[in-house]
Amino acid sequence: MSRADFWMVMFLAVALKLPLIGLFMAIWYAAKLGDEARPSPAAPTARMELCGYCGTRITVGYDAADVHQRATAIASRTGEAAFDIETRLVRDELAQPGRHVVEPTRCPGCGEPGAWVTIEPLTPAAARAIQPVGPRG
């Protein structure tokens, strides 16, 4: 193989790789833009629900952001792994009465098949409307 053949092979190797590198960079950039455009999922929060038949109140899930914050604070004081503390906090929250990971199929109060209604938080205007007007006494 002569010196000219060697340099021709090297030139073709580099020249043919450049479009592939450009293609991979374009795919990476498109994926990055797609990830930025998609909103990150919000941390799950506990939601209160009522039985449609008897009015029994249950809480479904737990407030993940609050549990994570508490676990991080405890971990910084104790030096224990935040994941372990968070796991215990979640177990403790879900062990309380009326707490469920998912909606139960039957109401714990009346035993009827679940007809759960989510309790929505009050808007500021609705919260002002139910405030007492006069002094309590």
pLDDT tens per residue, range 45-84: 788 888 888 888 888 888 888 899 999 999 999 999 999 9
Q: Which is higher by pLDDT, 89 or 44? A: 89
Q: How far is it, in rounded angstroms, from Cα 79 to Cα 52?
A: 46
What is the predicted pLDDT for the residue at 84?
92
Share of the chain above pLDDT 70, in %: 93
pLDDT at 137 over 60: no
Q: Find where tokens 């407030």 sit.
A: 63
| Residue 56 backbone phi and psi in degrees, to 5 | -65, 130
Q: Say if pTM beats, i.e. exceeds, 0.85.
A: no
Q: Lowest-confidence range among 3-17, 77-91, 115-129?
A: 115-129
| Token pair recorded at residue 67 | 């549990």
Q: What mean pLDDT, rounded, does the chain reach?
A: 85
pLDDT in tens, 1-14: 788 888 888 888 88
Q: What does the angle CA 124 – CA 129 – CA 134 come to, to the nearest 5 degrees? A: 125
Instruction: Measure the CA dihedral 87/92/94/98, to 10°.
Output: -170
Is residue 53 classed as helix, strand or coil in its secondary structure?
A: coil
